[in-house]
Amino acid sequence: MAQTEKLSLEIKRHIKAPRGRVYAAWIDPAQLRQWFGPENVQTRNLIVDPRVGGEFRWDLVNSEGENMTMRGEYRELQPDKKIVFTWQWQDDEDWENHVSIVTVELDDADGGTELRLTHEQLPNEASRDGHTQGWNKEAIDTLYDKDIVSVEARTMDGSSPETRGIDGVRGKTDWWLENMQVHSAKVSGPFVAHDRFVVQYDIDVTDKNSKKRIQMSEVGVYTVKDGKIVREEFLPDTGSEK
């Protein structure tokens, strides 16, 4: 069980749209092509056959200019509620005879939809970290305003606590994933009121440089305007770090 959790990831998002609209964005090829994948990845072809046993295939050019293919198969479809599909990269020795599982669950939440994505049975920790980065970049590109303001209570690398613009937020995400080994992460929320929502993060990481293991707890306070996140601020529980 511990090893299974170690090679899995979970991401939660609050989306200001009804469940039916969010579900359609995941299974309609035209809509999926508009948003699927991080901004620095070019989709060459996308095959979506949303029925149990149907094919899900993504041909792409990655940020290094390499052609890649992900092949999957739909395992479960509950309209407006749940999507389960397999995920396997082709021509990658880590993925030879190995298949992972992606589950997307949708629930009503404060006039919108809470999306919970889990990606399980990844082949190794490096793959888990890479997919965490990919899914998070996808969320950043989809949900964040291009002029987003991101504020930390303090930074671990000595940089300014305030970052402006979507490229800066992507850079912060890249730095975190390159320098921190994530052992586990628990996400609670979102808790929504008016134009803001709050998410709590409980994270167990090791700093790859100092080799120090750290347990962290913080909340992210997000402000939304016109359907995009325009500000995020992270407030740590200073008594939680060990």
Q: Where are the domains of the chain?
A: 1-123, 144-242
- What is the model's pLDDT at position 1? 41
Q: Model confidence over 2-50: pLDDT tens digits? A: 454 578 888 887 777 788 988 998 998 888 887 888 767 888 899 999 9
Would you place residue 240 in the very low, low, confident or very high pLDDT band (cuts 50, 70, 90)?
Answer: low
Domains 1-123 and 144-242 share a fold: no
For the record, the structure tokens of 242 come out as 């060990």
pTM: 0.61
Check if CATH label 3.10.450.50 holds for domain 144-242.
Answer: yes
pLDDT digits (tens, 9 = 90+) for 226-237: 878 899 999 987
Task: Decide which of 116 and 157 is more confident.
Answer: 116
Which of these, 86, 49, 45, 47, lies nearest to 68 by C-alpha position? 45
Q: Among the CATH numbers 3.40.1190.20, 3.40.50.1370, 3.30.70.1350, 3.30.530.20, which is that of 1-123?
A: 3.30.530.20
